[in-house]
Chains A and B, each alone.
With several copies, the nearest count.
Chain A
């Protein structure tokens, strides 16, 4: 991954959440407060602007800027979570280019940060349920010598799979947990946006 690709990734996320803003909002309305689409759209639109306006000296600078922007623009649960995730990833990638395995390590650090901040376990019906399998898949492919686009595609597929698997779950973290059993039968909105984030990486890397 180079600086341009990092930027392209952020732009691709921006485009995806813009496009799916309403869907994310509806998913959140069903078991939360309906703002997840607006939150993601607001955050990544700002991030796209921010990383477009800067002259980054490393891949990490792009991701850190993205994270910082998310933290200061989004609010809600997803702002600190995604924001800190991107910042954690950015911290690991101090060079102008990053090998795919390094990207994998950065993504692992991001996941770690989400887990630490939010305290969610696998199966709690949160973004972790898409994030964790995605990072797993990414590092597996990267570890066996796969290219970035291959790793990213595997990650995106795994995230999709993880998203689907949130449907039957009962939420134990975030707003959806307030609904108790009524959270069952719905996709988790944060898992859905995480799937978009990894799909965007695959798109950017494959282009």
Chain B
């Protein structure tokens, strides 16, 4: 394993300490593993909390700040946070207007956040949960744990964050978060496996000429393995998968995220975006906003995900609203 680290056991703490040092406008509690805005909950504003396993940076810690999250609770690498952490984050985020929890749909995340929501409820706090489940590589049926939450998390956190910032009430913020999730679909392909510090070697072996198709963001293998093909073909399949699951009519408007998994350089992501843009144009779909970069990563995995979100009423304005976080910033 080749990583900049001291020991596998201290990786997360050391990385969080560095994050804390780099962002004095955030407050990082290394003990409880909760990241909040340094100035605390915003009076009169609905709180926004997200969290999940670490290893997906900038998600979620990097999305704490004005216009987005109030608090994040990073778990161990690829392991959902524990309820105590989540409750701590809710306490920090809650100004009395209630808190929206943004939870990616994984069994562990769902259970831990549920327990936390119960605990917070026992403290008399109002909590709404928005579940993100955009990954069409997984069938949404009783024979699976349901679709995973992946790239759409960026959109949900940004758009719900902007809704909270403009003063929407608890149920409204949750509702728009759910609408964004419902309007979004994603699909990912990996060129390499990632290496967690504790495992010390790649999660799976992938021959030099093969790719994993339909991967998640936790280093798990995908739905199937394929020969490496030209980007235009790979991307065409990815876009098909996304749009077969939730078709867009000609004339529809979309927000598109081409998201790097951590080990893929920006130029490849742009190349992929170019293919996506051409394919959507062919279908008469116009991309009104886009984000190309590393947002929801999987440590050092080479690969990318494509997220298409239909830009329903209001989404674009909320996407454009000012945001100031380590991972996303404009207008402030």
Contact surface of A with B, Cβ cutoff 8 Å: 25, 29-35, 38-39, 42, 71-81, 117-118, 172-175, 177-180, 182
Among candidates B81, B115, B143, B198, residue contacting A25 with C-beta atoms closer than 8 Å: B198
> Which single residue of chain B is at the shortest CB-CB distance from A25?
B199
Q: Is the CB of B223 within 8 A of A182?
A: yes
Q: Is the CB of B76 within 8 A of A75?
A: yes
User: Interface-forming stretch among B103-111, B152-160, B318-326?
Assistant: B103-111
> Which single residue of chain B is at the shortest CB-CB distance from A175?
B220
Contact surface of B with A, Cβ cutoff 8 Å: 53, 75-84, 106-108, 111-112, 115, 137-139, 142-145, 148, 196, 198-199, 203-204, 216, 218-224
11 intermolecular pairs with C-beta atoms under 8 Å apart? A29-B199, A35-B198, A38-B198, A39-B79, A74-B82, A76-B76, A77-B111, A172-B144, A175-B107, A175-B145, A175-B216
For A76, the chain B residues whose CB sits under 8 A away are 53, 75-76, 79-80, 108, 112
For B106, the chain A residues whose CB sits under 8 A away are 77, 175
For B219, the chain A residues whose CB sits under 8 A away are 29, 33-34
Q: Is the CB of A79 within 8 A of B112?
A: yes
| A172 to B145 Cα, complex, angstroms | 7
Q: Report if A71-B115 is in contact (Cβ < 8 Å); known contacts: A33-B203, A177-B143.
A: yes
Q: Is the CB of B83 within 8 A of A118?
A: no
> Which single residue of chain A is at the shortest CB-CB distance from B115?
A80
Q: Report if A71-B218 is in contact (Cβ < 8 Å); known contacts: A29-B199, A79-B112, A173-B145.
A: no
Q: Report if A178-B216 is in contact (Cβ < 8 Å); known contacts: A29-B203, A71-B115, A81-B111.
A: yes
Q: Report if A35-B107 is in contact (Cβ < 8 Å); known contacts: A29-B199, A71-B115, A178-B137.
A: no
Q: Report if A32-B111 is in contact (Cβ < 8 Å); known contacts: A74-B82, A178-B138.
A: no
Q: Is the CB of A80 within 8 A of B223?
A: no
> Which single residue of chain B is at the shortest CB-CB distance from A178?
B138
For B204, the chain A residues whose CB sits under 8 A away are 29-30
Q: Is the CB of A35 within 8 A of B196?
A: yes
For B224, the chain A residues whose CB sits under 8 A away are 182
For B137, the chain A residues whose CB sits under 8 A away are 178
For B138, the chain A residues whose CB sits under 8 A away are 177-178
Q: Is the CB of B112 within 8 A of A34?
A: no
Q: Is the CB of A35 within 8 A of B80?
A: no
Query: Top 10 nearest A-B pairs by Cβ distance?
Result: A33-B218, A77-B108, A76-B108, A80-B111, A177-B144, A76-B79, A77-B107, A33-B78, A75-B79, A75-B75
| A33 to B144 Cα, complex, angstroms | 16
With both chains docked as a complex, state the minimum distance between the C-beta of A78 and any C-beta of chain B, in angstroms: 8
For B76, the chain A residues whose CB sits under 8 A away are 35, 38-39, 42, 75-76
| A33 to B194 Cα, complex, angstroms | 10
In this complex, the member of B76, B143, B220 whose beta carbon has the largest number of chain A beta carbons within 10 angstroms is B220
